[in-house]
Every structure is written in structure tokens, then in C-alpha cells.
């Protein structure tokens, strides 16, 4: 069950997100478990697209895959400019960036606290 007690399981949602990111060839995918660190979600996904169109397409596919299992987005931000699109799915929040915007905000560094290292589901480069 999701955080509200209804809908698909969190694991099913995470699987659909992973599939969408891989299917649309998102780059440098990071999945960060923030349970106990954030009150707004349990999992963060951070990925890059190669262009604004690619960023928007990735975010659209994440939404499509989530809806396919009955998980409706709570909110979506940034679709118009598509430099950084955020898809809030409750149990998971997905951030899709253009590389320069991702580098500027550096969310991975923000959320890798207490010695945690974000896992790389499909990393182009290794994190230390």
C-alpha cells in the first residue's frame, strides 16, 4: 500500500519508476532512500535528460507508468520549461533535470548525509 493506505504497493511504484527511467534512457539515474530523513516521501529519484524535450518525455513516461498501476501524481512541477521536472508520487518523488541544472542544485549532495551514498541504478560515473 502507499503512504495513504490505498493504491499500489510502494515496491510496485518504484519498479514502474525504474522501468520508465530506463525505457526513456534517462542518464545518471540515482535512487536515494530518504526514509527517516524526509517527511514528504520515502524515495527520491534523480535523473538527467539530454534536452528539454527529453526531460519532459521522461517525466511524462514516469507519470504514465505510475497511472498504469493506479498511482496518481500528487503534483507535477516544471513541465512548461522542462529544465527540471518534479513528479510527486507520494512514496516517491522523481526529479528529471537538464545536466547543467542538476549540477547547479546538486540534490545528491543534499540528500547523501551521514555517510550515505546514493545508489546508482544506471550511473555514467561512480560516486565516492
Domains of the chain in sequence order? 10-111 (3.30.460.10)
Phi first, then psi, for residue 117 (nearest 5°) are: -120, 125
Answer yes or no: are the C-beta atoms of 50 and 96 closer than 8 Å.
no
Taking the alpha carbons at both ends of the chain, their separation in whole angstroms is 34
Q: What is the DSSP string of 74-90?
A: SEEE-TTT-SEEEEE-S
pLDDT tens digits for the chain (128 residues)? 444 455 689 999 999 999 999 999 999 999 999 988 888 999 999 999 999 999 999 999 999 999 999 999 999 999 999 999 999 999 999 999 999 999 999 988 887 654 344 444 444 433 43
pTM to 2 decimals? 0.82
Amino acid at each position: 500500500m502507499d503512504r495513504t493506505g490505498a493504491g499500489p504497493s510502494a515496491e510496485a511504484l518504484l519498479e514502474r519508476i525504474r522501468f520508465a527511467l530506463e525505457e526513456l534512457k534517462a542518464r545518471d539515474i540515482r535512487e536515494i532512500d530518504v526514509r527517516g530523513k524526509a517527511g514528504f516521501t520515502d524515495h527520491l529519484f534523480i535523473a538527467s535528460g539530454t534536452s528539454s524535450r527529453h526531460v519532459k518525455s521522461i517525466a511524462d513516461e514516469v507519470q504514465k507508468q505510475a497511472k498504469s498501476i493506479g498511482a496518481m501524481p500528487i503534483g507535477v512541477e516544471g513541465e512548461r520549461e522542462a529544465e527540471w521536472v518534479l513528479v510527486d508520487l507520494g512514496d516517491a518523488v522523481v526529479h528529471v533535470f537538464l545536466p547543467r541544472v542538476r549540477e547547479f542544485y546538486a540534490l545528491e549532495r543534499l540528500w547523501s548525509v551521514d555517510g550515505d551514498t546514493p545508489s546508482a541504478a544506471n550511473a555514467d560515473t561512480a560516486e565516492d
